[in-house]
Chains A and B, each alone.
Chain A
Amino acid sequence: MAALAAPQPCHKEEFELLKARLSAKPPSPPLGGLLPTNIPELDRLLDGGLPAGAVTTLEGEIGRWSLAAGLVAGATRKGLVAILDDGGLYPPALAQAGARLERVLVVPVRRAIAMARAADILLRSRICRLVLVPAMAVRDAIWTRLATLAHRSGAILIVVAARANAALSAAAGVRLHCALERAVVHGRRGLWGSIAGFELSVGVRKHRHNVVGGTVRIRAEHAEMLDAALR
């Protein structure tokens, strides 16, 4: 049996060069497609949008629900969206963000275990393109299971949490973090002014299919701070 010839020095260099080039290239995009966020700057940062069939976390002290509402608005143009509501949902603001409320399933849930059960049923049914859940304190294994179900169904499970715990961070395919840049104030203080919204910086903390890093500034604003109090 003839012994294998040792690689020539010039071939070794070429091999190393090829290896370096392949390593620098970002991983291939997800097979299930992408859901555009409808925010051009963020879509550029995410290389087209959020990957389908994965868990995405929206984190930060402020702006995470505004970002979620934008995603819901985009998703309702094409199909059904389910929102697990812990009692904090304010549908008029969601409608102002452009969501078609007749395509939003609102599932009232109060306990963490019920939320996990509802998310499980929704992901298995494959009727929704996007399932939005608020943060919940559940066992670590549940996040893994929900991530697997999201992957199987091709739906996007969005978890809105001020801060993701270790298990959720591990299960998430994409982690976006929102931070307050400044408040947007119109007019003066008191009766002659209105707090119109805020400017956020949104950064990618984790992305399974893309290079991590970079932030974009996004403005969340409404002329009358969403509820037209002066009407």
Chain B
Amino acid sequence: MLLCVSVLRQAQDDKGEMPRDLWEEMLDALDAVSPLIDGVRPGLAFLDMHGIAGDARAHVTQARRALARFECDVRCGVAKNKIAAQAAAHLADGSVCEPGAERALLSPLPLALLEIDPATIERLRLLGIERLGELARLPHGPFVRRFGPAAASWHELASGVDRRPFVPRGHAVAIEASIFGEGRASDEAQVFFALRMLLARICADLDGCGKRAGALHLEIELEDAATQDFHVPLAMPTAHERTMFEMLRAKLEGLTFEAAIVGVRLAARQLEEGGEAQTLFRTDDLDPQRVAVTIARLEAALGGNVARARTREAHLLEERFRYEPFVLRQPFDYAQGDTVKPFDSAQPFDSAQDDKPFDYAQPFDSAQDDTVKPFDYAQGDTVKPFDSAQGDKRSELVPQLRLHEVREVPVQLRGGEPAVVDRQAVRQCAGPWRIAERSHSDCAEGRDEYDVVLESGTFARIYRQGSHWYFRGIYE
């Protein structure tokens, strides 16, 4: 027998759904009633009560007692299958559907119980079908031909036949290992030896339950009772001992502790099912784990963060970019905006997404159109031979500005523009360009920027703010 537990009123998130964490807590509480729970969605669960002592009434009482501390409105129903148990809970709290009475129980209930989309319910309503009994009485073949393959299961469900599988939820697995009270470690070799031992245990456990870890949590206890925690994210979930050890070692490189280490606890976090993801064809031979280990080593050795730059629109030079932690993107990561996207047949074609939709109402006027121009020999058009030297525009370099520490420089003006900068004559000058941090009306924030070529051959960027001149960088 299955026990359906339906939670009706509970705290809801922005999307109108029960918070996932709260629902998981409720399922954990229901573990006391049955070890096999199918949490279909937040708010609806089925408990397999086969072989559990007590009758249906007792099971309902147990479930209510388990959820009492959540102070929510719970409805329970007991039946042979899921749809009947759900119907029993829907009909009245604590209802029990005897075997063989499923169809009769379902008959007066509305179509919404099948959880089919509102548009289909409306179509059925227009055909005069509003109850499950009416749906069950329809001839199976014509109904399925009209409403598609999904209609076959609706028809069966309305008749009290439920072939949906019971999928028991996985229980949270805690994989961790620790060493405490077995002496004290004052040099790194001892710590690494202990870590290797713990990792061997953890990887064996991961292998045993067919999981891989996305991160490690390391807790180090010192002789003076202080503890230090380290969160070590892995580039890709793995159960590979060597990769984990490299990451841990890189994280600990360069660290010193105030006292000797007396205990180490290591736990695997972000557990996922299955082995490591492998791709058959790679665009490059980058190993994400090796990149992650190198970044960890660099950060441990240098103390700073290894970053990647991202450009953005801004007025001031120094605000046109920012740094963020470096994360290696997997090849063809569509979520990150890679250009080649798989064709999604379910996605309707949106012509508005096109750059320039074709306007059929607009008559084609070749005279106005500058893209399609007839070839006119009389106007002196000639066929231009392909110039391979002109074809490769990327062969030219782009001048690179090197930012220098901003410093005030003496500038002499002639005719309103810089003539001598830092005791060097200006050969060429371009500017000023008014650059304001906020708006053009905010003169206090504005600054006038100039590019100058000095007699030494230096190409510099300088700016004036108020009555002072500053040196910003050199084009190299």
Residues of A within 8 A of B (CB): 38-41, 61-70, 73, 78-80, 87-98, 101-102, 104-109, 114, 117-118, 121-122, 125-127, 180, 183, 185, 187, 189-191, 193-195, 197-198, 200, 218-222, 225-227, 229-230
Contact = CB atoms under 8 A, between A and B. Distances in A.
B36 interface: no
A225 B387 CA distance: 26
Given A66-B397, A94-B309, A194-B451, A88 B402 contact: yes
A221 B399 contact: yes
A122 B298 contact: yes
B403 A88 contact: yes
Contacts of A67: 397
B400 A105 contact: no
A127 B287 CA distance: 8
A125 B302 contact: no
B404 A88 contact: yes
Given A102-B329, A104-B308, A193 B430 contact: yes
Contacts of B453: 183, 195
Interface of B: 284-287, 290-291, 293-295, 297-298, 301-302, 304-311, 317, 320-321, 323, 326, 328-329, 389, 392, 394-405, 417, 427-433, 435, 449, 451-453, 457-459, 473, 475-476
Given A62-B475, A118-B302, 10 more contacts: A62-B476, A79-B286, A89-B309, A89-B402, A107-B298, A121-B294, A183-B427, A185-B428, A197-B399, A225-B399
Given A90-B321, A191-B432, A122 B294 contact: yes
Nearest to B417: A190
A109 B304 CA distance: 8
Given A88-B403, A104-B309, A118-B301, A222 B459 contact: no
The list of the 6 closest CB pairs from A to B, nearest first, reads A91-B309, A220-B397, A125-B294, A65-B476, A88-B402, A229-B433
Contact of A225 (B287, B305, B395, B475): B475
Contacts of A97: 397-398, 400
12 contacts: A87-B405, A92-B320, A93-B401, A97-B398, A101-B310, A102-B308, A106-B323, A107-B298, A114-B301, A118-B298, A185-B428, A198-B459
A39 B402 contact: no
Nearest to A87: B403
B430 A121 contact: no
Contacts of A93: 398-401
Nearest to B294: A125
A127 B317 contact: no
Contacts of B305: 108
B308 to A, nearest CB: 6
Given A79-B284, A127-B286, A195-B430, A218 B306 contact: no
Dominant SS at the A interface? Answer: mixed
Given A91-B311, A102-B329, A117 B433 contact: no
A223 to B, nearest CB: 10
A38 B433 contact: no
Nearest to B404: A88
Most central of A78, A93, A118 by chain B CB within 10 Å: A93
Given A80-B286, A198-B459, A121 B400 contact: no
A126 B399 CA distance: 29
B309 A101 contact: yes
A107 B253 CA distance: 17
A91 B311 CA distance: 7
Given A92-B321, A95-B311, A226 B398 contact: yes
Contacts of B395: 38-41
A146 B452 CA distance: 38
A121 B301 contact: yes
A220 B427 CA distance: 19
B114 to A, nearest CB: 47
A7 B471 CA distance: 73
Contacts of B394: 38, 73, 98
A190 B431 CA distance: 5
Contacts of B400: 65-66, 68-69, 90, 93-94, 97, 226
A80 B417 CA distance: 44
Given A67-B397, A91-B309, A125 B457 contact: no
A104 B291 CA distance: 12
Contact of A92 (B285, B311, B402, B458): B311
A63 B476 CA distance: 5
A120 to B, nearest CB: 9
Given A102-B329, A194-B430, A227 B298 contact: no
A101 B417 contact: no
